[in-house]
Chains A and B, each alone.
Chain A
């Protein structure tokens, strides 16, 4: 379980996060949704330690993280996997080298063990026979899947995904969403997904946190989202024509 407690962050005097507190349950896909510029990605970066919040702390299974000693932070980080918006694959390395990277640096496994694990993870995300390809030679959706394979290769307890569907077609998006959901269930991970894609939210979100202007306005699950009386959430969820039709039918 991950707990974000009273997180605030300002950039150049502009408050991006205002006293955010959220719980992220283990074995669930916890979603943070909201319009662009509401502070979702900043919150995610605060949680993984890429940005230091001005106030507040993040706890991983009751272990203080944000203000902990570097060694403890490193220990917690080695239990994390993260899928970045653009994939963040190392472009000087092949797909196999990218996925094997955490094992090479962080473990003492034999080359055979590492290769087996890499092939298992690549198969798990539906990628075969791409081991020797460079990131520049594969599609955006494949990059995301390689990113997921790299994120799970070291069997993390916590998985973070920053806009996993951005720039992908609807079918590939659904495939990525289902993959994240299946992996979360399979490994009983605490998964946190930042997204503004409502299809994705309804498809895989076990628990949903809606952010608006640096604050959490609503928390609930996919079934309740349509019944919310929070105006900002309704405006966000039912912004598209299709969603308006769905609302009318409901």
Chain B
């Protein structure tokens, strides 16, 4: 509870004594490149295999003459949009971006770079952390959209190559009983997860004390705490918004 209170105060600190809009705009662009563009490759790789594996597993487990083949693609689409694209990508994102944020801020803290900002009269937490959170909230939904497309396309490629389902059935399947709220739901999750990863990792990094060992520990804690927060957030959102996914 003490950590939670400290976290809430930390987030509150980000919005006081801010610098000019131009300063933040430049920082948000820089951070967006770091957290977004530089994460596309790993997200693409994970998503492609996620779609491929989901297609094969579903096809192997859904063998029944009563279930038409396009249902396999429908399952892949729903799993991707509702769960895999936002949640699995968020966990990968926590591993890559979360550890990077905590490591960077932790190193800045122990080498007095954060103190240097404070002495200049700059609100270090706002200057360093707020752009990271804004960039993450803006860029993570884009990564989720990319992940969803690549995952579904990965499923299509697997279907074509292995023949577990024909490409025509796959295309028909991903268009069956489509509920557009699934996309909205994925975007809500993406915004929440983007915020959680950046905010928690920044919090862990910003309060690092000690030396190189503690920076490593902060990075580990950032990833662990982010993953737990993502899963808890996923459960909460599923509980609150899940009923809206029914046709």
Contacts and interface: CB of A to CB of B under 8 A. Distances in A.
A154 B113 CA distance: 18
A73 B123 CA distance: 11
Nearest to A102: B120
Contact of A74 (B17, B107, B108, B127): B17
B23 A104 contact: yes
B66 interface: no
Contact of B121 (A50, A85, A106): A106
Contacts, number: 58
A88 B111 contact: yes
A4 interface: no
Contacts of A154: 120
Contacts of A84: 112, 115-116
Contacts of A82: 116, 119
Interface in B105-136: 107-108, 111-113, 115-116, 118-122, 127
Interface residues of B, number: 17
Contact of B113 (A74, A90, A160): A90
Interface in A87-128: 88-91, 101-102, 104-106
A106 to B, nearest CB: 7
Given A88-B111, A90-B113, A105 B23 contact: yes
Given A88-B111, A104-B23, A105-B23, A74 B121 contact: yes
A71 B113 CA distance: 22
B16 interface: yes
A154 B19 CA distance: 17
A81 B121 CA distance: 10
Given A50-B119, A78-B121, 5 more contacts: A75-B121, A88-B112, A90-B113, A91-B107, A106-B121
Interface of A: 45, 48-50, 70-71, 73-78, 80-82, 84-86, 88-91, 101-102, 104-106, 154, 160
